Structure 1
Amino acid sequence: MPKPIGEITRGTTGHNRLRRADRWIAGVHGRLLRGANRPLVVDLGYGASHTTTLEMFLRLRGVCPSVEVVGIEIDPARVAAAKPYERPGLSFALGGFELPVDRPPLVIRAFNVLRQYGEAEAWGYWAMLRERVAPDGVIVEGTCSEVGHRAVWAALDRSGPRTLTLSARFDGFTRPSDLAERLPKTLIHRNVPGEPIHAFLRDFDHAWAVNAPLGSYGSRQRWIASAETLAGTWPVAEHPPSGGRSRWRLGEITLPWSAITPR
Protein backbone atom coordinates (compact mmCIF):
# COMPACT_ATOMS: atom_id res chain seq x y z
CA MET A 1 0.00 0.00 0.00
CA PRO A 2 1.42 3.46 -0.92
CA LYS A 3 2.37 5.71 1.95
CA PRO A 4 -0.54 7.98 2.97
CA ILE A 5 -0.15 11.60 1.93
CA GLY A 6 0.16 14.03 4.83
CA GLU A 7 1.50 14.26 8.36
CA ILE A 8 0.13 13.04 11.69
CA THR A 9 -1.72 15.75 13.58
CA ARG A 10 -1.89 16.28 17.33
CA GLY A 11 -5.20 14.44 17.22
CA THR A 12 -6.96 16.47 19.89
CA THR A 13 -10.71 16.06 19.76
CA GLY A 14 -13.72 15.66 22.02
CA HIS A 15 -17.46 15.25 22.24
CA ASN A 16 -19.42 17.87 20.29
CA ARG A 17 -16.28 19.69 19.17
CA LEU A 18 -17.45 19.76 15.55
CA ARG A 19 -21.20 20.06 16.14
CA ARG A 20 -21.32 23.50 14.48
CA ALA A 21 -19.85 22.25 11.23
CA ASP A 22 -22.04 19.13 11.32
CA ARG A 23 -25.16 21.24 11.84
CA TRP A 24 -24.18 23.44 8.89
CA ILE A 25 -23.51 20.47 6.61
CA ALA A 26 -26.83 18.87 7.54
CA GLY A 27 -28.77 22.10 7.14
CA VAL A 28 -27.12 23.50 4.03
CA HIS A 29 -26.23 20.29 2.18
CA GLY A 30 -28.85 17.85 3.45
CA ARG A 31 -30.73 18.06 0.15
CA LEU A 32 -27.53 17.27 -1.74
CA LEU A 33 -27.07 14.10 0.32
CA ARG A 34 -30.69 13.00 0.02
CA GLY A 35 -30.64 13.44 -3.74
CA ALA A 36 -27.62 11.20 -4.27
CA ASN A 37 -27.38 7.49 -4.92
CA ARG A 38 -25.16 5.93 -2.23
CA PRO A 39 -23.99 9.25 -0.76
CA LEU A 40 -20.49 8.99 0.68
CA VAL A 41 -19.05 11.38 3.27
CA VAL A 42 -15.39 11.40 4.33
CA ASP A 43 -14.15 12.70 7.69
CA LEU A 44 -10.49 13.36 6.97
CA GLY A 45 -8.08 13.39 9.90
CA TYR A 46 -10.54 12.64 12.69
CA GLY A 47 -7.82 12.50 15.34
CA ALA A 48 -7.05 10.33 18.33
CA SER A 49 -10.69 9.42 18.96
CA HIS A 50 -13.50 8.15 16.76
CA THR A 51 -15.92 10.46 18.58
CA THR A 52 -16.40 13.28 16.10
CA THR A 53 -16.75 10.89 13.15
CA LEU A 54 -19.42 8.90 14.98
CA GLU A 55 -21.25 12.10 15.91
CA MET A 56 -21.12 13.25 12.29
CA PHE A 57 -22.51 9.91 11.15
CA LEU A 58 -25.44 10.10 13.58
CA ARG A 59 -26.25 13.71 12.69
CA LEU A 60 -26.15 13.14 8.95
CA ARG A 61 -28.17 9.94 9.24
CA GLY A 62 -30.86 12.18 10.75
CA VAL A 63 -31.22 14.05 7.45
CA CYS A 64 -30.17 11.26 5.06
CA PRO A 65 -30.66 7.68 6.34
CA SER A 66 -28.68 6.22 3.43
CA VAL A 67 -25.48 8.22 3.97
CA GLU A 68 -22.21 6.31 4.42
CA VAL A 69 -19.41 7.90 6.45
CA VAL A 70 -15.75 6.88 6.33
CA GLY A 71 -13.29 8.27 8.87
CA ILE A 72 -9.75 8.48 7.49
CA GLU A 73 -6.63 8.78 9.65
CA ILE A 74 -2.95 8.66 8.81
CA ASP A 75 -1.97 7.11 12.16
CA PRO A 76 -2.44 3.29 12.15
CA ALA A 77 -2.92 3.21 15.94
CA ARG A 78 -5.82 5.65 15.72
CA VAL A 79 -7.48 3.58 13.01
CA ALA A 80 -7.08 0.41 15.07
CA ALA A 81 -8.62 2.12 18.10
CA ALA A 82 -11.63 3.26 16.03
CA LYS A 83 -12.34 -0.07 14.31
CA PRO A 84 -14.41 -1.52 17.20
CA TYR A 85 -16.91 1.32 16.74
CA GLU A 86 -17.71 0.51 13.13
CA ARG A 87 -21.30 -0.24 12.23
CA PRO A 88 -23.32 -0.47 9.01
CA GLY A 89 -22.66 2.76 7.14
CA LEU A 90 -19.73 3.83 9.34
CA SER A 91 -16.15 2.66 8.84
CA PHE A 92 -12.58 3.78 9.47
CA ALA A 93 -9.60 3.54 7.13
CA LEU A 94 -5.88 4.28 7.05
CA GLY A 95 -4.96 7.07 4.69
CA GLY A 96 -4.40 10.75 4.04
CA PHE A 97 -5.20 13.35 1.41
CA GLU A 98 -5.24 10.68 -1.29
CA LEU A 99 -8.58 9.47 0.21
CA PRO A 100 -8.57 5.66 0.04
CA VAL A 101 -12.30 5.22 -0.71
CA ASP A 102 -14.07 3.31 -3.47
CA ARG A 103 -15.83 6.31 -5.05
CA PRO A 104 -15.66 10.11 -5.01
CA PRO A 105 -17.16 11.43 -1.76
CA LEU A 106 -20.06 13.86 -1.92
CA VAL A 107 -18.84 15.64 1.22
CA ILE A 108 -15.32 15.86 2.66
CA ARG A 109 -14.95 17.31 6.14
CA ALA A 110 -11.38 18.21 7.14
CA PHE A 111 -11.17 20.05 10.45
CA ASN A 112 -8.05 21.10 12.33
CA VAL A 113 -5.99 19.19 9.76
CA LEU A 114 -4.27 21.92 7.73
CA ARG A 115 -3.43 24.09 10.71
CA GLN A 116 0.06 22.59 10.99
CA TYR A 117 0.94 23.29 7.35
CA GLY A 118 2.13 26.46 5.63
CA GLU A 119 -0.21 28.55 3.52
CA ALA A 120 1.23 27.33 0.22
CA GLU A 121 0.89 23.70 1.36
CA ALA A 122 -2.71 24.34 2.40
CA TRP A 123 -3.55 25.65 -1.06
CA GLY A 124 -1.90 22.56 -2.53
CA TYR A 125 -3.94 20.17 -0.40
CA TRP A 126 -7.10 22.07 -1.25
CA ALA A 127 -6.31 21.43 -4.92
CA MET A 128 -5.73 17.73 -4.19
CA LEU A 129 -9.07 17.35 -2.42
CA ARG A 130 -10.87 19.23 -5.18
CA GLU A 131 -9.68 16.59 -7.63
CA ARG A 132 -11.10 13.83 -5.44
CA VAL A 133 -14.50 15.17 -4.42
CA ALA A 134 -17.59 14.22 -6.44
CA PRO A 135 -18.44 16.55 -9.36
CA ASP A 136 -21.34 18.09 -7.42
CA GLY A 137 -19.72 17.63 -4.00
CA VAL A 138 -18.42 19.97 -1.32
CA ILE A 139 -15.29 20.17 0.83
CA VAL A 140 -15.70 21.70 4.29
CA GLU A 141 -12.29 22.68 5.64
CA GLY A 142 -11.64 24.75 8.74
CA THR A 143 -10.59 24.94 12.35
CA CYS A 144 -12.32 25.26 15.69
CA SER A 145 -11.49 25.88 19.32
CA GLU A 146 -10.79 22.98 21.66
CA VAL A 147 -14.41 22.83 22.86
CA GLY A 148 -15.97 23.94 19.58
CA HIS A 149 -17.28 27.31 20.75
CA ARG A 150 -15.52 29.13 17.91
CA ALA A 151 -15.21 27.79 14.38
CA VAL A 152 -14.49 29.07 10.89
CA TRP A 153 -14.62 27.01 7.71
CA ALA A 154 -14.38 27.35 3.97
CA ALA A 155 -16.62 25.43 1.59
CA LEU A 156 -15.07 24.39 -1.72
CA ASP A 157 -16.19 22.57 -4.82
CA ARG A 158 -14.19 21.34 -7.79
CA SER A 159 -13.82 24.88 -9.11
CA GLY A 160 -12.33 26.28 -5.89
CA PRO A 161 -13.39 27.95 -2.63
CA ARG A 162 -16.98 29.18 -2.66
CA THR A 163 -17.90 30.47 0.79
CA LEU A 164 -16.52 31.27 4.23
CA THR A 165 -18.59 30.68 7.38
CA LEU A 166 -17.97 32.01 10.88
CA SER A 167 -19.78 30.28 13.72
CA ALA A 168 -19.65 30.90 17.45
CA ARG A 169 -21.42 30.14 20.68
CA PHE A 170 -22.75 33.47 21.94
CA ASP A 171 -20.86 33.28 25.22
CA GLY A 172 -17.69 32.12 23.45
CA PHE A 173 -16.36 35.49 22.31
CA THR A 174 -16.13 39.16 23.27
CA ARG A 175 -16.22 40.56 19.75
CA PRO A 176 -16.57 38.81 16.37
CA SER A 177 -12.93 39.34 15.41
CA ASP A 178 -12.02 36.91 18.21
CA LEU A 179 -12.80 34.24 15.61
CA ALA A 180 -9.79 35.36 13.56
CA GLU A 181 -7.60 32.84 15.38
CA ARG A 182 -9.73 30.08 13.78
CA LEU A 183 -9.48 31.25 10.18
CA PRO A 184 -8.44 28.55 7.67
CA LYS A 185 -4.73 28.36 6.97
CA THR A 186 -5.21 30.07 3.61
CA LEU A 187 -6.53 33.17 5.42
CA ILE A 188 -5.12 33.29 8.93
CA HIS A 189 -1.96 35.15 7.92
CA ARG A 190 -3.98 37.52 5.72
CA ASN A 191 -5.74 39.20 8.64
CA VAL A 192 -3.72 42.40 8.21
CA PRO A 193 -4.64 45.89 7.00
CA GLY A 194 -5.18 45.97 3.26
CA GLU A 195 -6.61 42.45 3.07
CA PRO A 196 -10.38 41.89 2.59
CA ILE A 197 -10.69 39.48 5.53
CA HIS A 198 -9.24 42.12 7.84
CA ALA A 199 -11.73 44.68 6.55
CA PHE A 200 -14.62 42.26 7.04
CA LEU A 201 -13.70 41.44 10.63
CA ARG A 202 -13.20 45.15 11.36
CA ASP A 203 -16.68 45.92 10.00
CA PHE A 204 -18.16 42.98 11.89
CA ASP A 205 -16.73 44.35 15.13
CA HIS A 206 -18.19 47.75 14.27
CA ALA A 207 -21.62 46.26 13.57
CA TRP A 208 -21.41 44.35 16.86
CA ALA A 209 -20.63 47.59 18.72
CA VAL A 210 -23.38 49.56 16.98
CA ASN A 211 -25.94 46.95 17.95
CA ALA A 212 -24.77 46.70 21.57
CA PRO A 213 -28.11 48.05 22.93
CA LEU A 214 -29.83 44.92 21.61
CA GLY A 215 -27.64 42.90 23.97
CA SER A 216 -30.28 43.53 26.63
CA TYR A 217 -32.49 41.15 24.64
CA GLY A 218 -29.71 38.58 24.38
CA SER A 219 -26.60 38.03 22.30
CA ARG A 220 -28.63 36.17 19.67
CA GLN A 221 -30.62 39.27 18.82
CA ARG A 222 -27.46 41.33 18.76
CA TRP A 223 -25.81 38.86 16.35
CA ILE A 224 -28.83 38.86 14.03
CA ALA A 225 -28.91 42.65 13.99
CA SER A 226 -25.17 42.77 13.34
CA ALA A 227 -25.58 40.42 10.37
CA GLU A 228 -28.33 42.66 9.00
CA THR A 229 -26.05 45.68 9.41
CA LEU A 230 -23.21 43.92 7.61
CA ALA A 231 -25.54 42.96 4.77
CA GLY A 232 -25.74 46.65 3.91
CA THR A 233 -22.09 46.72 2.81
CA TRP A 234 -20.99 43.08 2.50
CA PRO A 235 -22.57 40.29 0.39
CA VAL A 236 -23.40 38.06 3.36
CA ALA A 237 -25.86 35.25 2.66
CA GLU A 238 -29.33 36.56 3.49
CA HIS A 239 -31.48 33.65 2.34
CA PRO A 240 -31.73 29.91 3.09
CA PRO A 241 -30.18 27.48 3.05
CA SER A 242 -26.89 29.19 3.94
CA GLY A 243 -28.09 32.54 5.25
CA GLY A 244 -30.87 34.58 6.75
CA ARG A 245 -32.25 34.67 10.27
CA SER A 246 -32.58 30.88 10.48
CA ARG A 247 -28.78 30.57 10.24
CA TRP A 248 -27.88 33.81 12.00
CA ARG A 249 -29.83 32.79 15.10
CA LEU A 250 -27.45 29.81 15.40
CA GLY A 251 -24.45 32.13 15.62
CA GLU A 252 -23.46 31.72 11.98
CA ILE A 253 -22.70 34.08 9.16
CA THR A 254 -21.65 33.09 5.64
CA LEU A 255 -20.29 35.18 2.80
CA PRO A 256 -18.94 34.35 -0.65
CA TRP A 257 -15.25 33.62 -0.90
CA SER A 258 -14.99 36.22 -3.64
CA ALA A 259 -15.61 38.91 -1.02
CA ILE A 260 -12.54 37.96 1.02
CA THR A 261 -10.20 36.48 -1.60
CA PRO A 262 -6.61 37.17 -0.50
CA ARG A 263 -4.84 39.85 -2.48
Structure 2
Amino acid sequence: MEQPTQLTCLAAAQEAEKCCKEGDHARGIELLENAIEMGTDDLFLLSAIYSQLGNAYYTMRMYSKALSFHLNDFYISRIINDLQWSSKSLANLATTSAALHRYEDAKEFAHNFLILAKQLNDKKLEGRAYYLLGHVLMNKVRHAGCSRPIGEESPLKEEIVQDLNQAITYFKRNIMIAEDMLNTSFLYGNLGNAYYYLGDFKNSYDCHRKRLKISRSFGDKPAMKKAYINLGNNCVFMTLFDEALVHYKLVRFRLCLLVDYHS
Protein backbone atom coordinates (compact mmCIF):
# COMPACT_ATOMS: atom_id res chain seq x y z
CA MET A 1 0.00 0.00 0.00
CA GLU A 2 3.05 2.30 0.33
CA GLN A 3 3.74 2.67 -3.39
CA PRO A 4 0.55 4.57 -4.42
CA THR A 5 1.08 7.08 -1.60
CA GLN A 6 4.70 7.50 -2.65
CA LEU A 7 3.72 8.21 -6.24
CA THR A 8 0.98 10.63 -5.20
CA CYS A 9 3.40 12.54 -2.99
CA LEU A 10 5.94 12.70 -5.81
CA ALA A 11 3.29 13.78 -8.31
CA ALA A 12 2.17 16.60 -6.00
CA ALA A 13 5.77 17.75 -5.57
CA GLN A 14 6.35 17.71 -9.33
CA GLU A 15 3.17 19.69 -9.97
CA ALA A 16 4.23 22.17 -7.27
CA GLU A 17 7.61 22.61 -8.93
CA LYS A 18 5.86 23.39 -12.20
CA CYS A 19 3.61 25.97 -10.51
CA CYS A 20 6.59 27.69 -8.89
CA LYS A 21 8.45 27.86 -12.19
CA GLU A 22 5.37 29.51 -13.70
CA GLY A 23 5.30 32.05 -10.87
CA ASP A 24 2.29 30.65 -9.00
CA HIS A 25 4.09 30.21 -5.69
CA ALA A 26 0.92 30.23 -3.59
CA ARG A 27 -0.40 27.20 -5.47
CA GLY A 28 3.04 25.60 -5.33
CA ILE A 29 3.14 25.99 -1.55
CA GLU A 30 -0.33 24.47 -1.23
CA LEU A 31 0.70 21.43 -3.27
CA LEU A 32 3.98 20.99 -1.41
CA GLU A 33 2.28 21.12 1.97
CA ASN A 34 -0.27 18.59 0.70
CA ALA A 35 2.63 16.37 -0.35
CA ILE A 36 4.03 16.51 3.19
CA GLU A 37 0.64 15.56 4.62
CA MET A 38 0.52 12.56 2.28
CA GLY A 39 3.82 11.44 3.73
CA THR A 40 6.79 9.63 2.26
CA ASP A 41 9.58 7.42 3.56
CA ASP A 42 11.91 8.75 0.86
CA LEU A 43 14.16 11.20 2.70
CA PHE A 44 15.61 12.53 -0.54
CA LEU A 45 12.13 13.44 -1.77
CA LEU A 46 11.19 14.95 1.59
CA SER A 47 14.36 17.03 1.61
CA ALA A 48 13.59 18.32 -1.89
CA ILE A 49 10.05 19.25 -0.81
CA TYR A 50 11.36 21.18 2.20
CA SER A 51 13.87 22.97 -0.02
CA GLN A 52 11.19 23.94 -2.54
CA LEU A 53 8.91 25.17 0.24
CA GLY A 54 11.72 27.28 1.64
CA ASN A 55 12.43 28.79 -1.76
CA ALA A 56 8.74 29.46 -2.44
CA TYR A 57 8.20 31.18 0.92
CA TYR A 58 11.39 33.18 0.38
CA THR A 59 10.13 34.38 -2.99
CA MET A 60 6.93 35.51 -1.28
CA ARG A 61 9.07 37.30 1.36
CA MET A 62 7.75 35.11 4.14
CA TYR A 63 11.26 34.69 5.48
CA SER A 64 10.51 33.11 8.87
CA LYS A 65 8.62 30.25 7.24
CA ALA A 66 11.31 29.95 4.59
CA LEU A 67 13.95 29.62 7.30
CA SER A 68 12.08 26.85 9.13
CA PHE A 69 11.78 24.74 5.98
CA HIS A 70 15.40 25.31 4.98
CA LEU A 71 16.40 24.16 8.48
CA ASN A 72 14.35 20.99 8.04
CA ASP A 73 16.02 20.46 4.69
CA PHE A 74 19.46 20.88 6.26
CA TYR A 75 18.73 18.41 9.06
CA ILE A 76 17.65 15.76 6.57
CA SER A 77 20.71 16.37 4.39
CA ARG A 78 22.87 15.58 7.42
CA ILE A 79 20.90 12.43 8.17
CA ILE A 80 21.36 11.12 4.63
CA ASN A 81 24.98 12.36 4.67
CA ASP A 82 24.66 14.25 1.38
CA LEU A 83 27.35 16.92 1.68
CA GLN A 84 26.51 18.58 -1.63
CA TRP A 85 22.90 18.94 -0.54
CA SER A 86 24.00 20.21 2.87
CA SER A 87 26.02 22.94 1.19
CA LYS A 88 22.97 24.03 -0.79
CA SER A 89 20.90 24.10 2.40
CA LEU A 90 23.52 26.18 4.22
CA ALA A 91 23.56 28.70 1.37
CA ASN A 92 19.77 29.00 1.59
CA LEU A 93 19.96 29.40 5.36
CA ALA A 94 22.58 32.15 5.06
CA THR A 95 20.57 34.07 2.47
CA THR A 96 17.30 33.74 4.41
CA SER A 97 18.88 34.70 7.73
CA ALA A 98 20.33 37.82 6.10
CA ALA A 99 16.86 38.71 4.80
CA LEU A 100 15.64 38.48 8.41
CA HIS A 101 18.54 40.76 9.50
CA ARG A 102 19.97 37.93 11.58
CA TYR A 103 23.46 38.69 10.39
CA GLU A 104 25.45 36.71 12.96
CA ASP A 105 23.43 33.59 12.11
CA ALA A 106 23.84 34.33 8.41
CA LYS A 107 27.62 34.64 8.77
CA GLU A 108 27.79 31.37 10.68
CA PHE A 109 25.79 29.52 8.03
CA ALA A 110 27.91 31.03 5.24
CA HIS A 111 31.13 30.19 7.09
CA ASN A 112 30.00 26.57 7.54
CA PHE A 113 29.16 26.55 3.84
CA LEU A 114 32.74 27.64 3.11
CA ILE A 115 34.17 24.91 5.35
CA LEU A 116 32.06 22.30 3.58
CA ALA A 117 33.02 23.61 0.13
CA LYS A 118 36.71 23.29 1.00
CA GLN A 119 36.09 19.82 2.41
CA LEU A 120 34.49 18.84 -0.90
CA ASN A 121 37.34 20.54 -2.79
CA ASP A 122 34.70 22.26 -4.93
CA LYS A 123 36.00 25.61 -6.19
CA LYS A 124 32.61 26.66 -7.56
CA LEU A 125 30.99 26.15 -4.16
CA GLU A 126 33.93 27.84 -2.46
CA GLY A 127 33.49 30.89 -4.67
CA ARG A 128 29.80 31.02 -3.88
CA ALA A 129 30.58 30.80 -0.16
CA TYR A 130 32.96 33.76 -0.38
CA TYR A 131 30.30 35.70 -2.27
CA LEU A 132 27.69 34.86 0.39
CA LEU A 133 29.98 36.00 3.19
CA GLY A 134 30.55 39.30 1.41
CA HIS A 135 26.86 39.62 0.56
CA VAL A 136 25.83 39.13 4.20
CA LEU A 137 28.26 41.81 5.37
CA MET A 138 27.14 44.27 2.70
CA ASN A 139 23.51 43.71 3.70
CA LYS A 140 24.46 44.32 7.32
CA VAL A 141 26.17 47.59 6.36
CA ARG A 142 23.17 48.78 4.36
CA HIS A 143 20.80 47.82 7.16
CA ALA A 144 22.88 50.00 9.49
CA GLY A 145 21.88 52.92 7.28
CA CYS A 146 24.97 53.13 5.11
CA SER A 147 23.74 54.07 1.62
CA ARG A 148 26.60 56.43 0.76
CA PRO A 149 30.25 56.82 1.83
CA ILE A 150 30.51 56.70 5.61
CA GLY A 151 31.31 59.87 7.54
CA GLU A 152 33.22 60.60 10.70
CA GLU A 153 29.96 61.29 12.52
CA SER A 154 28.66 57.74 12.11
CA PRO A 155 28.37 56.08 15.56
CA LEU A 156 28.90 52.69 13.93
CA LYS A 157 31.86 53.74 11.83
CA GLU A 158 34.45 51.37 13.31
CA GLU A 159 32.17 48.35 12.96
CA ILE A 160 31.08 49.37 9.46
CA VAL A 161 34.68 49.83 8.30
CA GLN A 162 35.57 46.41 9.69
CA ASP A 163 32.62 44.77 7.91
CA LEU A 164 33.40 46.53 4.62
CA ASN A 165 37.07 45.53 4.71
CA GLN A 166 36.08 41.93 5.42
CA ALA A 167 33.55 42.00 2.56
CA ILE A 168 36.28 43.29 0.24
CA THR A 169 38.52 40.38 1.24
CA TYR A 170 35.75 37.87 0.50
CA PHE A 171 34.84 39.43 -2.85
CA LYS A 172 38.51 39.44 -3.91
CA ARG A 173 38.84 35.76 -3.03
CA ASN A 174 35.71 35.03 -5.03
CA ILE A 175 37.09 36.88 -8.05
CA MET A 176 40.36 34.94 -7.82
CA ILE A 177 38.61 31.60 -8.28
CA ALA A 178 35.70 32.68 -10.49
CA GLU A 179 35.63 30.93 -13.87
CA ASP A 180 32.59 32.64 -15.40
CA MET A 181 33.67 36.03 -16.78
CA LEU A 182 30.09 37.33 -16.80
CA ASN A 183 29.83 36.50 -13.12
CA THR A 184 33.20 38.20 -12.56
CA SER A 185 31.65 41.40 -13.93
CA PHE A 186 28.99 41.21 -11.21
CA LEU A 187 31.63 40.55 -8.57
CA TYR A 188 33.65 43.60 -9.58
CA GLY A 189 30.46 45.60 -9.14
CA ASN A 190 30.07 44.32 -5.57
CA LEU A 191 33.73 45.00 -4.83
CA GLY A 192 33.41 48.50 -6.24
CA ASN A 193 30.37 49.19 -4.07
CA ALA A 194 32.25 48.12 -0.93
CA TYR A 195 35.14 50.46 -1.78
CA TYR A 196 32.62 53.25 -2.47
CA TYR A 197 31.05 52.92 0.98
CA LEU A 198 34.55 53.08 2.48
CA GLY A 199 35.20 56.32 0.62
CA ASP A 200 37.97 54.70 -1.45
CA PHE A 201 36.74 56.20 -4.72
CA LYS A 202 39.84 55.41 -6.79
CA ASN A 203 39.63 51.66 -6.15
CA SER A 204 35.85 51.78 -6.55
CA TYR A 205 36.25 53.54 -9.90
CA ASP A 206 38.79 50.95 -11.07
CA CYS A 207 36.45 48.07 -10.15
CA HIS A 208 33.51 49.57 -12.02
CA ARG A 209 35.76 50.19 -15.06
CA LYS A 210 36.60 46.48 -15.02
CA ARG A 211 32.91 45.65 -14.71
CA LEU A 212 32.15 47.90 -17.66
CA LYS A 213 34.85 46.31 -19.81
CA ILE A 214 33.65 42.76 -19.11
CA SER A 215 29.95 43.58 -19.46
CA ARG A 216 30.60 45.35 -22.78
CA SER A 217 32.32 42.23 -24.12
CA PHE A 218 29.14 40.25 -23.37
CA GLY A 219 26.73 42.96 -24.50
CA ASP A 220 25.20 43.02 -21.01
CA LYS A 221 23.46 46.40 -21.16
CA PRO A 222 21.88 46.34 -17.67
CA ALA A 223 25.33 45.74 -16.17
CA MET A 224 26.81 48.44 -18.38
CA LYS A 225 24.19 50.90 -17.19
CA LYS A 226 25.00 50.17 -13.54
CA ALA A 227 28.71 50.54 -14.25
CA TYR A 228 28.22 53.95 -15.87
CA ILE A 229 26.12 55.17 -12.94
CA ASN A 230 28.72 54.03 -10.42
CA LEU A 231 31.56 55.50 -12.47
CA GLY A 232 29.71 58.80 -12.50
CA ASN A 233 29.13 58.70 -8.75
CA ASN A 234 32.80 58.06 -8.07
CA CYS A 235 33.86 60.84 -10.41
CA VAL A 236 31.66 63.29 -8.49
CA PHE A 237 33.44 62.47 -5.23
CA MET A 238 36.81 62.75 -6.98
CA THR A 239 35.68 66.17 -8.34
CA LEU A 240 35.99 64.90 -11.92
CA PHE A 241 32.73 66.58 -12.84
CA ASP A 242 33.17 66.64 -16.62
CA GLU A 243 33.86 62.90 -16.72
CA ALA A 244 30.96 62.25 -14.35
CA LEU A 245 28.66 64.10 -16.73
CA VAL A 246 29.84 61.92 -19.61
CA HIS A 247 29.00 58.73 -17.71
CA TYR A 248 25.57 60.02 -16.68
CA LYS A 249 24.79 61.06 -20.26
CA LEU A 250 25.71 57.60 -21.49
CA VAL A 251 23.14 56.17 -19.11
CA ARG A 252 20.48 58.70 -20.05
CA PHE A 253 20.81 58.44 -23.81
CA ARG A 254 21.79 54.77 -23.93
CA LEU A 255 24.92 55.38 -25.96
CA CYS A 256 26.65 52.31 -24.57
CA LEU A 257 27.96 51.12 -27.93
CA LEU A 258 29.25 54.48 -29.17
CA VAL A 259 32.16 54.92 -26.80
CA ASP A 260 35.09 52.52 -26.79
CA TYR A 261 36.21 51.84 -23.24
CA HIS A 262 38.42 48.93 -24.22
CA SER A 263 41.40 51.14 -25.00
Q: State the TM bucket, normalised to the shorter chain.
A: under 0.3
| Structure number, greater radius of gyration | 2
Greater helix share, 1 or 2? 2
* Greater RCO, CA 8 A, separation 6+: 1
